Structure 1
Amino acid sequence: MGEFLMDKVDLDDVLDKFGVFDRYHAVSGIFLVLGMAWNAMWYFNFIFVTEKVEYRCADHLLPNNTSANASTTLWCANPAVCSEWVYDNPDSFVAEFQLACQEWKRTLIGGVQSFGLMLGSFIIGALSDRFGRKTLIVITGVTGAALGLAKSFSTSYWLYFALEFLEAGFGDVTSPLFTLAVEMVATKSRVTYATICNVGFSGGLLVVLIAWLVPYWRHFQRVLYAPGLLFIVYIHVIDESPRWLLSQGKKEEAVHIIRKAANQNKLNIEENLIDMISCEKDEGLSFFTVLGNTLKSKSLLKRFIVCSVCLIACTFASHGLIINSVSLSGNKYTNFALSFGLKLPSSILSGYIIAKFNRRSPLILFFMACAALCIGQPFIPKSKYLLWLLILTYMAGKLTASMCLNTALIYTFELFPTKTRSSMHALCLAISKIGSITATQTPLMMAYWSGLPTAMFGGVALVAGLATLLVPDTGNKNLPNTVCEAEALEYSDRIKK
């Protein structure tokens, strides 16, 4: 009877024997963190490249320029009266492409980036399930670096616009990198390793230092993107996900990686245990077949809708608060650094909380806290004596928004089965770009009320918090391998109740 029960061994039973801080996972984690950090810098570079620059009409220069700023609105209302513009920074993106009175073109760069990320996620997620996590990390990393360098040589606004779209669509390593990080560890280590990966995203804070040291936007992008060509070395420094290899029927390759990891950690694992790891090859489903099968399951369809709503809210609030931070009183570099720097403590704090208290309840709490802080912040009197409270509340809202995003990424990932996990997670991420696309346009809303963007961030967080009540918890549960196992998560929740 004992031999019959041991015919198959779940991969988690073997991965349980590995520690995330042992040599193999520690070294792999370093490269995953570096990849996430570099990708984060690429993600937010447009904030400094397309920064707002003041300008005035050269035909109507006034003594000491005393009323030039006030006159700009009138000139833009009737641009025919001005034949030439003078920019405060003649080497800026706005000046080189002559974007005076075309504020929409400046903010559109952030919007097309998010749109590219949205469409690219459909493709990258499906390719990741088809060709592997490692393969897509290398391809997207090198492609992103090459297209980013090409942007720095743009000779026209629309050429830059097109390259921004292509880079975002085909040069984002986030999805395959995060998928690999979560799949290469056991259930008990999932949150810890995913948190370490998320901490890497906070490394994107270096973009502030680079922007300060290299202010000219063309040179800034060359310094930023050139090191990304080194993603090619990831062919040799990281391994494929054993979980994905097993889903493809490539048991020998998966076993080789597990033995390699055991040797590096000087860990003795019974050969019989490794040989009996279950291996089930998938059917080679296309992306649209995956979507169709998901829609057939009412339970997974509901999760897909809720996950999409939550991630839209997370990206809208988190990215919107970062983008609008440069409009706060004070130094733009300092404000951006403070806002983006909250990614590190938010990753650590949210990781600790969801490891202790599962997923759903903490996520709802984070959403509600974000809603309260963001809706309340605009109503704080704008007095110089309360400036500290205004900024503190704004940053606290950003902290909770980042905690929402960190938790939602892990939570969403755990709700779908292995054979379709990357595709469905990528699909949810793609739809979530609706939030980041909208977020890039929120600075324009300040013309109606300065507190409107922040209040909107709070409103969507409130809606997402309520929607989270509709999905099951996944804490301390094995990652589901099939649709049936994924649906069973909901039944286990009902039994507990």
Structure 2
Amino acid sequence: MTATDFDDVLKGFSVFGRYHSLFLLFTFLAFASNSVYSSNYVFTAEEFKYKCADASFGDNACYSTDSENRTTHCTEWIYENPNSFVAEFQLACQDWKRTLVGTVHSFGYMVGLLVVGPLSDRLGRKLTLIITGMLGGVIGLLKSFTPWYWVYIALEFLEAAIGDNCSPMFILTIEIVSTNKRALFYVLCSFGYTFGGIMLPSAAWLVPYWRTFLRVIYSPALFFFLYLYFIDESPRWLLTKGKKDQAVAILQKAAKMNKMDIDKGTLEKLTCEETKDISFMQLLKITFSSKTLTKRCLICIVWWTTSTFVNFGMTINSVSLQGNKYINYMLISVVDIPGNFVIIYILNHYKRKLPLIATFVAGAALCLSQPFVPKSLPWLSITFYMAGKLMSSFYFNITYMYTSELFPTYTRNSMHALCSSMGRIGSIVAPQTPLLMHYWSGLPPMIFGGASLIAGLLTFLVPDTADNSLPNTVKQAEALGKSEKVRAIEGEVNLGFSKDDTGLNLDVSRERRVSRL
């Protein structure tokens, strides 16, 4: 009996069929919530003017010096907005505490990915995204009630670490469609990020008090438990866990919803590598036994660091541009709408590698040029800024997908989470970039441009993946970009590991077998 590849079955499903359309809706909402929760500190802990109650001090002045050079520090402050985050936590002359909120969120997300990624590989994509989604809502609501700054910081860390469902949602998204539809489906789902980017400033504008604002945006997250009934687990993940009946049932359900027939014989001939649970560290050992995958991992970390640093940095700094801060933030998000259609076309016609290089380099050029635009032409400066932000969104989206395609199935979510986690160094540093404007307003975009250029040059060292199915083993992952070799490996009867695959003995790595399901 000839084996049937899982990807061949998925090719029969249209991303515009009823099943995938409904899944797209729920992914859209999950990504929208991630967009809101990952950046709400921009408005929650926004900057407000303050002055010392002593009239001899100037605005935002922390101390004064008399004629005899004696320094007097202010002890009582009057805030422009007495109900602001800065005022309630008494953060006058402590800007670092205000920007620390964003940094701690990014650090929490960085740590959390190392937990959520392996958890998703162990418990499944669906259960993990439900747990993290609901925890995010609960912790977010708790933040709105705390009267203590450092408790708020601790909750900010916990929310990001165990309350963000973006990673398992993303992996689930790319695993339920075939190779040739992966880019289209993901980009359509990513409109959720844009929607969240519009809803965040809208909510902040309509609900200016930061505590009420937090309650408004986090309450809907409590409904993530409904995903237990509305979405299915990844059939690909179920197959790797040896749960054939469940995987087949999902495929049959999808076919029924799309009013299409799947040959039962085809489903009976499905083959997939079946694995037992192993630790996250063991997964890393298996993957890093390959020098090729180790190099890719390091390059992916650079991609992620650059993407998070530039994307978050430019988003945060957008509220400092001339004009209404809420509208500016919306514009930064709205520009992604036409951009997403462009990226769909690019990914479908120009694969992955060339678009990633081009967008990194173009983004670098725009960022490096922006500080030198004449100040008498603010519209041109904003245009350069928006175009640079658009490029950063392009390469962030490509990085998200590209990373997931470079590693084998059994470690895909873990490696994606690892690269994303290490790359969060960029988003940890990004909230501090507004402080650099005190030295020179052009310093942040210059740094953004330099980082983008370095990442673009490193992209030459990885293979393209657009024409290949998602790899299941280390050998298949190493062979990416060499289509004939990949097809030969995929045609082998033994799809599991050998000692040559991983450099590990079979009993050290894990027990496995190939089952004809």
TM-score range, shorter chain: over 0.9
Equivalents in 1 of 2:27, 2:263: separation in Å? 29
Relative distance call for 1:336 and 1:276 in structure 2 (3 A) is same
The aligned amino acid for 2:184 is T
State the match for 2:43 in structure 1.
Answer: 48
1:431 aligns with 2:422: yes
Alpha-carbon separation, structure 1, partners of 2:230 and 2:48: 43
Residue 64 of structure 1 aligns with which residue?
Answer: none
Report what 1:69 is aligned to.
59
- Structure-2 change in CA distance of 1:339 and 1:294 (3 Å): same
| TM-align CA RMSD | 1.7
Q: Secondary structure at the match of 2:398?
A: helix
Inter-CA distance 251–70: structure 2 relative to 1 (3 Å threshold)? closer
Q: Match of 2:203? A: 210
Is the aligned partner of 1:153 residue 2:148? no
User: Would the aligned equivalents of 2:136 and 2:221 in 1 still touch at CA under 8 Å?
Assistant: yes
Tell me the equivalent position of 2:406.
415
Distance of 1:219 and 1:348 partners within structure 2: 35
Structure 1, gaps ≥5 residues long:
62-66
Asked if structure 2 preserves the Cα contact closer than 8 Å seen for 1:9 and 1:277, the reply is yes
Cα 1:144–1:71 change in 2 (3 A) is closer
1:122–1:430 contact (8 Å) kept in structure 2: yes
Equivalences for residues 339-488 of structure 1 within 5 A: 339-383=332-376, 386-488=377-479
TM-score by length of 1: 0.94
- Structure 1 residues 485 and 443, CA gap change in structure 2 (3 angstroms): same
Assess, with a 3 A threshold, how the Cα gap between structure 1 residues 141 and 79 changes in structure 2: closer, same or farther. Answer: farther
Counterparts in 2 of 1:490 and 1:15: CA distance versus 1, 3 Å: closer
Residue 298 (1) aligns with residue 284 (2): no
SS state at 1:281 partner: strand
> Counterpart of 2:480?
489
Corresponding residue of 2:108? 116
Which structure features the higher share of helix residues?
Answer: 1
CA displacement at 1:71 relative to structure 2? 4.3
Within 5 Å, give how 1:280-359 maps onto structure 2.
280-359=273-352
Instruction: Report the number of matched residues.
Output: 482
Tell me, yes or no, if the aligned pair for 2:367 and 2:448 is still in contact at 8 Å.
yes
Contact kept? 1:313, 1:461, Cα under 8 Å: yes
Question: For 2:385 and 2:100, how far apart are their aligned partners in 1?
Answer: 25
Q: CA deviation at 1:478?
A: 0.6
Q: How does 1:78-157 map to 2 (within 5 A)?
A: 81-157=73-149
- 1:246-267 Cα deviation digits (max 9, x unpaired): 0101010000000000111110
Instruction: Please tell me the residue identity of whatever aligns with 1:188.
Output: N
Look up the match of 2:247: 254
Identity %: 50
Task: Quote how far apart the aligned CAs of 1:318 are.
Answer: 0.8
> What secondary structure does 1:450 align onto?
coil
* Residue of structure 1 equivalent to 2:34: 39
Q: Is contact 2:48-2:81 (8 Å) kept?
A: yes
Range 189-198 or range 458-467, more displaced: 189-198
- Taking structure 2 as the reference length, the TM-score comes to 0.91
Q: Is the 2:305–2:424 Cα contact (8 Å) retained in structure 1?
A: yes
1:181 and 2:173 are equivalent in the alignment: yes
**Residue deviations 1:339-390 (CA, integer Å, cap 9, x gap):** 122233332221220111100001000000000000010011211xx11000
Match in the other structure for 1:198: 190
**Deviation at 1:101?**
0.4
Shift of 1:412: 0.8
- C-alpha distance after superposition, 1:10-63 (max 9, x if no partner): 1111111100000000011101111110121111100000000100000226xx
Q: Structure 2 CA distance, aligned partners of 1:133 and 1:178?
A: 9
Q: CA deviation at 1:493?
A: 9.4
Distance across 2 between alignment mates of 1:83 and 1:71: 11
Residues 198-220 of structure 1 deviation map (CA, whole Å, 9 limit, x = unaligned) = 11111112011100000000000
Give the residue type in structure 2 aligned to 1:34.
L
Structure-1 residue corresponding to 2:221: 228
Flag the 1:209–1:113 CA change in 2: closer, same or farther, 3 A.
same
Q: Secondary structure at the match of 1:266?
A: coil
Supply the distance in 1 between the matched residues of 2:317 and 2:34 (Cα, whole angstroms).
21
Report the Cα distance in structure 1 between the residues aligned to 2:85 and 2:61, rounded to whole angstroms: 22
Give the Å deviation of 1:476: 2.0
Q: Aligned equivalents of 2:275 and 2:141: distance in 1?
A: 38
* Residues 133 and 79 of structure 1, relative CA distance in 2, 3 Å threshold: farther
Aligned partners of 1:473 and 1:493 also within 8 Å: no
Verify the 8 A CA contact 1:315 1:435 in the aligned structure 2: yes
Identify unmatched segments of 5+ residues in structure 2: 487-517
Cα pair 2:63 2:73 within 8 Å, conserved? no
| Residue 60 (structure 1) aligns with | 55
CA–CA distance in structure 2, aligned partners of residues 301 and 252 of structure 1? 35
Give the conservation status (yes or no) of the 8 Å contact 1:251–1:279: no
